[in-house]
Amino acid sequence: MLTFSFTLVRHGETQYNRDKLLQGQGVDTPLSETGMLQAEAAGQYLKDIAYSKVFVSNLQRAVQTAEIILRNNAHCSDMELTLEPLLRERGFGVAEGRHKEDLKNMANAAGQSCRDYTPPGGETLEQVKQRFKKFLKVLLKQMLEDHSPSDPDSGPAASSPGGAADGSGASDGLQGVGVHVLAVSHGAYIRVATRHLVEDLKCSLPAGVKVSQLFSPCPNTGISRFVITASRSERGPALSDARCVFTNRKHHLENLTE
Annotated ligand binding at 11? The verdict is yes
Catalytic residue chosen out of the listed positions 40, 89, 96, 123: 89
Specify if 98 maps to a domain.
yes
Specify if 258 maps to a domain.
no
**What are the residues facing 239 on neighbouring strands?**
230
- Contacts of residue 224, defined as CB under 8 A and 6 or more positions apart, other chains included, come to 7, 8, 9, 190, 194, 218, 244, 246, 247, 248, 249
Instruction: Round to whole Å and give the CA distance between 237 and 30.
Output: 35
Domain count for the chain, please give it: 1
Specify if 84 maps to a domain.
yes
Annotated ligand binding at 221? The verdict is no
Instruction: Round to whole Å and give the CA distance between 100 and 188.
Output: 13
User: pLDDT value at position 209?
Assistant: 85
Catalytic residue chosen out of the listed positions 11, 147, 180, 186: 11
User: pLDDT value at position 227?
Assistant: 97
Annotated ligand binding at 191? The verdict is no
Annotated ligand binding at 72? The verdict is no
Specify if 184 maps to a domain.
yes
Instruction: Round to whole Å and give the CA distance between 225 and 206.
Output: 11
Annotated ligand binding at 10? The verdict is yes
80 is catalytic: no
**pTM for this one?**
0.92
- CA atoms in the 13 A half-sphere facing the CB of 69: 33
Would you give per-residue pLDDT tens digits along the chain (258 residues)? 999 999 999 999 999 999 999 999 999 999 999 999 999 999 999 999 999 999 999 999 999 999 999 999 999 999 999 999 999 999 999 999 999 999 999 999 999 998 889 999 999 999 999 999 999 999 999 999 999 654 544 443 333 443 443 456 899 999 999 999 999 999 999 999 999 999 999 999 988 888 878 888 999 999 999 999 999 988 889 999 999 999 999 999 998 865
User: pLDDT value at position 167?
Assistant: 58
Specify if 203 maps to a domain.
yes
Specify if 232 maps to a domain.
yes
Instruction: Round to whole Å and give the CA distance between 91 and 54.
Output: 23
Full domain range(s) for residue 60: 2-253
* Residue 32 belongs to domain with CATH number: 3.40.50.1240
Query: Strand, coil or helix: what is 193?
Result: helix
User: pLDDT value at position 138?
Assistant: 96
Specify if 246 maps to a domain.
yes
Gyration radius of the chain's alpha carbons: 18
Specify if 44 maps to a domain.
yes
251 is catalytic: no
